[in-house]
Amino acid sequence: MEASRLHGSMDKGMAKRIFIPGDSVAVALGSDEVAGRFRDLARKRKVEIEIVRNGSRGACHLEPLVEAETPEGRAAWGPVGPDGAEGVFESAVMGAGEGSRHPLYLGLPEEMPYLKGQTRITFKRAGLIDPISIDDYVADGGLAGLRKALGMTPEEIIAEVKASGLRGRGGAAFSTGIKWETALKTESAVKYVVCNADEGDSGSFSDRMLIEGDPFSLIEGMIIASLAVGAQEGYVYLRSEYPYAREAFKKALKAAYGSGLLGKDVMGGKKRFDVHLVTGAGSYVCGEETALLESLENRRGMVRPRPPVPAVSGLFGRPTILNNVITLASVANIFETGSKGYKSLGAGMSAGTLPFQLSGNVKRPGLVEAPF
């Protein structure tokens, strides 16, 4: 069980860890107020708790979803609004094993039908870890893929991506390995990795949820991409309407540089890679990759004629890997667990998993990850 893998035990005398999402949907539904009420109540009751503002597990119909470490594992209550915060605090923090009697008690999240039926790979940490804690990320298997890639040649890295069957998750579904191979074979002293996080299609929110819930997986995927083609700089072009994602990613970048994950000596591997965060100007067309490149170059976002493709002549006329958030985050997980396992999911040429975003007039809106 994933919860027990990371936070399944609670030592006597330690502060209880309480998880209250800082995801945009949860915040819109009052999670900031819920967190504030929990802090006030802890002071009033003179109990020590640690509040983690995690991402969302994707069960938006249950947000704010409050979780607490218990001797049995992480337990959940939801949806918890500000008016119901005190009752859930009494149940989750002061309940002494009686939390299951509360009407909002949901049990262990992994046993909830909405989550149990999923195949969570790219989103396996979203909602589980503290998104800006690199220690949490590493404790849950993060950076294992990058360590593997650091010992491989660019050709071996690309072969692994090809073997996984990964196709672009931004809509075009082009082979990720072939795109990277094109950039590798194009001679240039300077190359770039660009992440398209300008998620503008109606009802789409998987990029935002990934950045708010597990930003280090995106950073790790971008570094692996840089190793594949010899790039030393990367850019994340983030939709301007995502202020919470922007703040989460800025904090993750600071932690990544502070730990040596980014900079002049990536994880001591004598490879340099820097990542820059750029906020878009709210133009829908900049979700198209060449218009995005025009915007990054401080020009009006307009679609470029092709050829040449960005892998040959992209940012500032240099070979550029340009993938979206989910594609790059999937790369990190492919290298962590191996291409064969990823390839075994899905059907035909559509390998791996896909995040399905459910919104509108549906009973249980949210994100579900399942085989493609």
Do the Cβ atoms of 94 and 41 come closer than 8 Å? no
Do the Cβ atoms of 357 and 347 come closer than 8 Å? no
Is residue 14 scored above 70 in pLDDT? no
Check: pTM over 0.85? Answer yes or no: yes
The two tokens of residue 320 are 């550029």
pLDDT band at 202 (very low <50, low <70, confident <90, very high): confident
- Cα-Cα end-to-end distance for the chain: 23
Is residue 9 scored above 50 in pLDDT? no
CB atoms within 10 A of CB 40: 13
**The predicted structure's pLDDT at residue 15:** 56
**The predicted structure's pLDDT at residue 95:** 74
pLDDT band at 129 (very low <50, low <70, confident <90, very high): very high
Helices 215-229 and 206-213, interaxial angle, to 10°? 100
**The predicted structure's pLDDT at residue 70:** 85
Range of weakest confidence among 11-25, 181-195, 282-296: 11-25
Is residue 100 scored above 80 in pLDDT? no
Category of 120 on φ-ψ map: left (φ > 0), alpha (ψ -120 to 50) or beta:
beta
Contacts of 345 (CB under 8 A, 6+ apart): 119, 121, 351, 352, 353, 371, 372
Closest CA to 61 of 139, 114, 16: 114
Counting Cα atoms < 13 Å in the Cβ hemisphere of 174 gives 14
Contacts of 182 (CB under 8 A, 6+ apart): 309, 311, 312, 319
113 prior amide bond cis, ω within 30: no
Distance CA 212, CA 207 (A): 9
For the chain, count helices (H), then strands (E). 15, 13
What average pLDDT does this structure show over 43-47?
A: 94
What average pLDDT does this structure show over 8-34?
A: 80
Is residue 3 scored above 70 in pLDDT? no
**The predicted structure's pLDDT at residue 321:** 97
**The predicted structure's pLDDT at residue 10:** 41
Is residue 124 scored above 60 in pLDDT? yes
Distance CA 233, CA 215 (A): 17
Do the Cβ atoms of 146 and 332 come closer than 8 Å? yes
**The predicted structure's pLDDT at residue 94:** 86
Cα 365 to Cα 20, 57, 98, 108, 118: the distances in Å are 19, 12, 30, 20, 15
**The predicted structure's pLDDT at residue 98:** 61
**The predicted structure's pLDDT at residue 122:** 96
pLDDT band at 19 (very low <50, low <70, confident <90, very high): very high
**The predicted structure's pLDDT at residue 36:** 98
With H, G, I as helix, E, B as strand and everything else as coil, classify residue 333.
Answer: helix
Distance CA 270, CA 55 (A): 33
Query: Which stretches within 297-371 are classed as H helix?
Result: 325-337, 339-343
Do the Cβ atoms of 104 and 79 come closer than 8 Å? yes
With H, G, I as helix, E, B as strand and everything else as coil, classify residue 229.
Answer: helix
Closest CA to 7 of 90, 66, 71, 86: 71
Residue 263 CA, chain-centre distance (Å), reads 21
Residue with more model confidence, 1 or 106: 106
Do the Cβ atoms of 336 and 144 come closer than 8 Å? yes
**The predicted structure's pLDDT at residue 103:** 92
Do the Cβ atoms of 198 and 240 come closer than 8 Å? no
Residue with more model confidence, 3 or 106: 106
Beta strands in the chain (DSSP E): 16-19, 49-52, 66-70, 73-77, 105-107, 192-197, 233-238, 274-279, 320-324, 346-347, 350-351, 353-358, 366-371
> In this predicted model, what pLDDT tens digit does every residue of 222-260 receive, in sequence order?
999 999 999 999 999 999 999 999 999 999 999 999 999
How high is the mean pLDDT of the chain? 92
Closest CA to 199 of 266, 280, 260: 280
